[in-house]
Amino acid sequence: MKNISIYVVNQEKISGEQLLHITHQELEELGVTRIGHQELILEAVDLLCALNYGLETENLRTLSHKLNASAKNLQNFITGRRRSGHYDGRASRRLPNDFLTSVVDLIGAAKNLLAWLDRSPFVSVTEYSLLKNNIVQLCLELTTIVQQDCTVYETENKILHVCKTLSGICDHIISLSSDSLVSQSAHLEVVHLTSIMPSEGLGMYIKSTYDGLHVITGTTENSPADQCKKIHAGDEVIQVNHQTVVGWQLKNLVNALREDPNGVILTLKKRPQNTLVSAPALLKNVRWKPLALQVRRLLQCWCCGISFTLFRRKH
């Protein structure tokens, strides 16, 4: 497969502002003719935008508000359709494309909230862990509902129930105003790792998500990553030696980490830390994959499933 790194974006003197608003057509004019490569570039730009604009404002409360708004928007969409004089939901079995688009938007908002609930410190707090599991179950239920063979009216009734339940969960999270974790935003922290033994490496385990984020899942006991006491499960790797790696393939990230045998400078995106549960996750020479990652794989499946359903019905 042709490597997208050969494209001459730098030689064309594309500024950051232009890249922010670049289109498929403009990429094609630059020689990026493959649709898959265009999507990779545009998705990487989206990731950087989300990092830049969401870092200081994104927290558990704002993400809960966004999911709540998406759930209520879908409810309003359904009730608005039913008030229309042309409503045929009791006879039709085909969900409209704009209806499916609203469902995808709702799942996207849920995914963003779950990305926080599924990491330290929230994953270690029983109340938040239960809320996370409930949201996952409701989203799985939602993807099942839209693929069932029944009338649109019956589908809408089931989705209304899911939306109301999701709104209730969001209201509960928002109401936890006494918990400082709800209102704390993420922040960036620079970590220097030195005295690295080539035979041992950094002692850091990283999981790359399907959308290009690199999440640390744990450290090896007595490794440089463990001994620095600044790296925790749930941290995202944003830069390696001052080079942004958001959207990179995992193998390229690993190569960057190994580039300088004398050490590495990491820029990490860190979630709020609860002093009771912020100790690093230690791995005793075992490739540990926390149960939380199973939930992430499950989320990937239902996100891909609903997107495929939307694509299939549009075509």
User: Band of the pLDDT at 4, cuts 50, 70, 90?
Assistant: low
> Helix H segments across the chain?
16-20, 24-29, 35-54, 60-83, 97-117, 126-145, 152-175, 180-183, 224-227, 250-257, 291-314
- Structure tokens given for 118: 């599924």
pLDDT of residue 5: 52
User: Band of the pLDDT at 286, cuts 50, 70, 90?
Assistant: very low
| Mean of per-residue pLDDT scores for the chain | 81
Q: Is 214 left (phi over 0), alpha (psi -120 to 50) or beta?
A: beta
Q: Check pLDDT > 70 for residue 299.
A: no
Q: For domain 60-182+294-314, is the CATH number 3.50.50?
A: no
In this structure, the chain runs to a length of 315
Place of tokens 């001994």: 227
Q: How many CB atoms lie within 10 A of CB 59?
A: 19
138: Cβ–Cβ under 8 A, 6 or more apart, which residues?
Answer: 110, 162, 165, 166, 169
Secondary structure (DSSP) of 57-68: T--HHHHHHHHH
Q: Render pLDDT for 177-236 as a digit per residue (tens, 0 to 9).
A: 677 888 888 889 999 998 888 778 899 999 988 778 899 988 999 999 999 999 988 899
Which amino acid, residue 64?
A: S
Q: Check pLDDT > 70 for residue 32.
A: yes
Is-above-0.85 flag for pTM?
A: no
Greater confidence, 294 or 85? 85
- Structure tokens given for 44: 């990487």
- Fold equal for 4-54 and 60-182+294-314: no
Highest mean pLDDT among 26-30, 153-157, 281-285: 153-157
175: Cβ–Cβ under 8 A, 6 or more apart, which residues?
Answer: none
- Domain extents in the chain: 4-54, 60-182+294-314, 187-270
Q: Which CATH class is domain 187-270?
A: mainly beta
Fold classification of 4-54 is DNA polymerase; domain 1 (1.10.150)
